[in-house]
Amino acid sequence: MAQRKQITWSELRVGLFVLVGLLILAVAIFYVTGAGFLGPKYRLKTYLPEVSGLSTGAPVRLDGVEIGNVEKIRLVPRQAGKPPDRMHNIEVGIRIDSKYQGDVLTDSTATLVTEGLLGNRYVNVQRGYTGVPLKEGQAIPGAEEKAIKEVVERSADVLANLKALSEEIQEIIGDVQAGKGTIGKLITDDQAYNHLNSILARGDQIVGNVQSGQGTLGKLFMTDELYSKVDKGVDNVNTILADVRSQKGTIGKLLYDPSLYDQAKAALENGNTIMGDIRAGKGTLGKLTTDETLYNKLRDSSSNLSEATARLNKNDNTAGKLFSDPQLYDNLAAASAELRTFLTEFRKNPKKYLTVKMSFF
């Protein structure tokens, strides 16, 4: 009897282990699928144009929050005499936790969303705000996934651009290989290579000369002569600054001697006094600046001068005729010619014009 009880307990223990394992497996399945087995559920459906990559058990999310899972996927059968509706091509049955029933309304929409670019797909429900809650078995309006469509369209454009770019690159490479253009000539022309090699050789020679202390750059970099001169120059500058601080020399006295400031201040005061006397009309400069008599005399003199020049231009008096009468000019020219002739004859025969008479009484 004792042996019989021990065998029964072993069998019971194995059965208990099997039941616990099955229970853990069931919990794990529900946990992985996200369906959950605790709490009430209700079922809805939606219609989508395509569901590639979507599988049964895929999560259903409400604005990113997981609320259920996909229960079934089926093709909607065509109806005779009616054209097929692309937006009602696939029926997707979903199971949702009842606690989210107040958030899935008649103005909600269901779309497929791809995790990443090539990840798994799931059903995403947009939360409603103005509608009424959907009841068991009702349909959520479906919408096409725009992201993948835009990605595909843009990918086609990108591929076309890449194709055109690759063709242009191949054409450029062909031109370079044929020796066309600057790059082609640099790559294929031996003369450019020889020039570049010569330039590099000269550069190496110049660097070698600099390192050996030859030339101006070599002496600047490799000898201490310039450093010594700069250091000596700095010492001289420091000496000059020290002499200036000790009030030596002209600059030192100009900067530190207060008598220069006093003299400049006195000069400014004298200048201000002179300006005050000028404004007061004192002295010759003051009278010239402030007395209107001189201005009036100058104005009268300019008027008289203008009147005199006007009379000269009128040619109705002796002075005017002297300046503008052509007859007077001709007479003067004739007189000067006769005088020149007389002087010439007088030099030749002065006795002709000099007669001395003597008489005695």
Using the predicted structure, report yes or no on whether residue 60 has a pLDDT greater than 90.
yes
* 88 and 181 part of one domain: no
* 106 and 46 part of one domain: yes
Extract the tokens encoding 317: 């008096």
In contact, 58 and 107? CB cutoff 8 Å: no
* 124 and 45 part of one domain: yes
Crossing angle for the helix pair 283-290 and 258-279, nearest 10 degrees?
50
**Measuring CA to CA, which residue among 31, 59, 51, 39 is closest to residue 101?**
39
Name the CA dihedral angle for 259, 261, 266, 268, rounded to a multiple of 10 degrees: 160
On whether residue 109 sits in a domain, the answer given is yes
* 44 and 140 part of one domain: yes
- Element counts in the chain: helices (H) and strands (E): 12, 7
* 101 and 48 part of one domain: yes
- Mean pLDDT, the chain, integer: 78
pLDDT digits (tens, 9 = 90+) for 36-57: 555 688 999 999 988 888 889 8
Alpha-carbon gap, residue 298 to 198, rounded angstroms: 84
On whether residue 48 sits in a domain, the answer given is yes
Alpha-carbon gap, residue 348 to 292, rounded angstroms: 66
* 82 and 112 part of one domain: yes
On whether residue 242 sits in a domain, the answer given is no
* 14 and 107 part of one domain: no
On whether residue 107 sits in a domain, the answer given is yes
**Measuring CA to CA, which residue among 99, 108, 98 is closest to residue 46?**
108
- Top pLDDT among 61 and 283 is at 61
Q: What share of the chain is helix, strand, coil (3-state, %, to 5)?
A: 60, 15, 25
Confidence of residue 315 (pLDDT cuts 50, 70, 90): low
* 85 and 179 part of one domain: no
Whole-angstrom CA distances from 179 to 172, 175, 176, 185, 213 are 11, 6, 5, 5, 42
Extract the tokens encoding 353: 């014009």
- Give 102's contacts (C-beta < 8 A, 6+ positions apart): 133
* 28 and 54 part of one domain: no
Alpha-carbon gap, residue 320 to 309, rounded angstroms: 9
Number of folded domains that form the chain = 5
pTM: 0.37
Q: Which of 144, 169, 204 is the last residue of a domain?
A: 144
Using the predicted structure, report yes or no on whether residue 136 has a pLDDT greater than 60.
yes
pLDDT digits (tens, 9 = 90+) for 175-213: 777 777 777 777 777 777 777 888 888 888 888 887 777
pLDDT for res 329: 73
On whether residue 269 sits in a domain, the answer given is no
On whether residue 245 sits in a domain, the answer given is no
* 303 and 346 part of one domain: yes
Alpha-carbon gap, residue 203 to 75, rounded angstroms: 78
* 51 and 116 part of one domain: yes
On whether residue 240 sits in a domain, the answer given is no
On whether residue 301 sits in a domain, the answer given is yes
- Give 30's contacts (C-beta < 8 A, 6+ positions apart): 36, 37
Domain with 132 in it: 40-144
* 68 and 104 part of one domain: yes
Using the predicted structure, report yes or no on whether residue 232 has a pLDDT greater than 90.
no
